[in-house]
Amino acid sequence: MKFALIGNGAIAQYVKSNLLARGHTVEALLLRADSAASEHRPGAEKPSVLYHVADLPDNVEHVIDCAGHAGLRDYGPDILVTGRSLTTVSIGALADDDLYSALTNAATKGESKLHLASGAIGALDCLRAARVGQLTSVRYTGRKPPAGWLGSPAVTKLDLQALKGAPQTHFQGSARQAAIEYPKNANVAAAVALAGIGFDKTAVELIADPGITSNIHDIQAEGEFGTFEFRISGKALADNPRSSALAAMSVISSIEQQTGTIVF
């Protein structure tokens, strides 16, 4: 297949190299004007760098968003209305009802699909199955080392640089609140919400924990099916300590599911 990528950061670089290794081609990088200078790496004449959806080559069949919530908001509807498929890791952006509606309407008009890569968490297939019956509660707890919350609203609530000893909670609320307030940190909470009982009913707790070195995600769910607990301790990409390796891997997994003949 012939792809275009939104963004050119660590996740985009990982996705690009793995697509090429699987025999696909990356025809273009679609960058936002306000981030183009920082994201465009020297020597990247191929694939071409573009700033408008209208400039995408006609042979691009599928676009992959690796640029965060702003990239999906700025380019997502325009891509879907052209009839191209779009895969995104920016699941938290869907907490914005206006964007959710815009993406839905564009996909309907373009007869296209928006694919949500599962990101840094597993067990979502279990949640999707459980919601066929009655899910009574779903809770997501996200733990990161203090440095992992730098650049988030946690800096206004905790002294992350000096935090030692016991873990400190800096957010408790719904998945919708988490996704809106923590756009760079709450894609996992949003994925759990969409797979289960929704943004407003999914409980979220975010914790800065000086006693850990990796990002830990916990899901607890209860319902007609019974109960389950899931935990993953995730590593970051080597190129960017703030980017989840599993989030990047989930993009490739999603593409393989979309292009494979036998899908699991």
Task: At 263, give phi and psi (nearest 5°).
Answer: -115, 130
β-strands 215-223, 135-144: how paired? antiparallel
Contact indicator for 31, 52 with CB cutoff of 8 Å: no
Q: How far apart are CA 68 and CA 60, in angstroms?
A: 21
Query: How would you label 136-150 residue by residue, b for 16+ Cβ within 10 Å and e otherwise?
Result: eebbbbbbbbbebbe
Contact indicator for 18, 75 with CB cutoff of 8 Å: no
Asked if 217 is an active-site residue, the reply is yes
Q: Is the peptide bond before 47 cis (omega within 30 degrees of 0)?
A: yes
Q: How far apart are CA 137 and CA 20, in angstroms?
A: 41
Task: At 64, give phi and psi (nearest 5°).
Answer: -120, 125
Inter-axis angle of helices 69-81 and 97-110, nearest 10: 30
User: What's the 3-state SS for 61-74?
Assistant: CEEEECCCHHHHHH
Amino acid present at 37: A
Distances (CA, A) of 146 to 209, 226, 230: 6, 34, 22
Pick the catalytic residue: 62, 69, 170, 217? 217
Q: How far apart are CA 100 and CA 44, in angstroms?
A: 33
> How far is it between the farthest Cα atoms of the chain?
56
Residues annotated as catalytic (active site), given as ranges: 217
